[in-house]
Chains A and B, each alone.
Chain A
Amino acid sequence: EPEVTQTPSHQVTQMGQEVILRCVPISNHLYFYWYRQILGQKVEFLVSFYNNEISEKSEIFDDQFSVERPDGSNFTLKIRSTKLEDSAMYFCASSEQGSNWSPLHFGNGTRLTVT
């Protein structure tokens, strides 16, 4: 069964450094997402991406965050200057028809630790 893959599985970085989290969505999906989960808390929406542009973003997704689909298969999340509170699991997801019409399929996440 096709799956969403994410790399790396764990990223440790120092405060103020830039990180790029990578994802390969399911190949025939058109909608892409990033969510995060702080330890023991809910899964929170960050951003959705469709047709090569951001379609929706949350208040968490401030100017320090950006997303890109650099080629036909990868989807990345960049955090420009990491803060301690950015430590979390970051999940990439993709959907065939959008979150109101088809389920999101999630990757296994990247654990980001900011020290």
Chain B
Amino acid sequence: GESVGLHLPTLSVQEGDNSIINCAYSNSASDYFIWYKQESGKGPQFIIDIRSNMDKRQGQRVTVLLNKTVKHLSLQIAATQPGDSAVYFCAESQGGSEKLVFGKGTKLTVNP
């Protein structure tokens, strides 16, 4: 069946450190992947996306890596700040479907 899951439910880092949040997906037909950040009481906020024809994409302080061989997605946050504290979700999409499948989420806590 389809599933998008996260290896670690919680991650605690020190301010200034780099953070890596991982995600495994099982649907090999998925071809578009998105990372979302959700702060308490808010909706998912788009961070960065990547298509399956790429293996790396960089944004401002964030990098997404895609390994299709092992069906693994990661989000790297450089110089993590207290404002990065939130729950991070990966989501996958498959051509021909409008449904975005979300993972469980990883709660990132940044300690000052």
Interface of A with B (CB < 8 Å)?
A: 4, 31, 33, 35, 41-45, 48, 50, 55-56, 58, 91, 93, 98-101, 103-109
Contacts and interface: CB of A to CB of B under 8 A. Distances in A.
Contacts of A105: 46
B103 A42 contact: yes
A50 B93 CA distance: 17
B54 to A, nearest CB: 14
A100 B95 contact: yes
Interface of B: 31-32, 34, 36, 41-46, 49, 89, 91, 93-105
Contacts of A99: 32, 93, 97-100
A4 B89 CA distance: 19
A115 B8 CA distance: 34
Contacts of B94: 100
A105 B101 CA distance: 15
A44 B102 contact: yes
A33 B98 contact: yes
Give the most central of A4, A103, A106: most B CB within 10 Å.
Answer: A103
Contacts of A109: 42-43
Contacts of B97: 56, 99-100
Given A56-B97, A108-B42, A108-B43, A103 B49 contact: yes
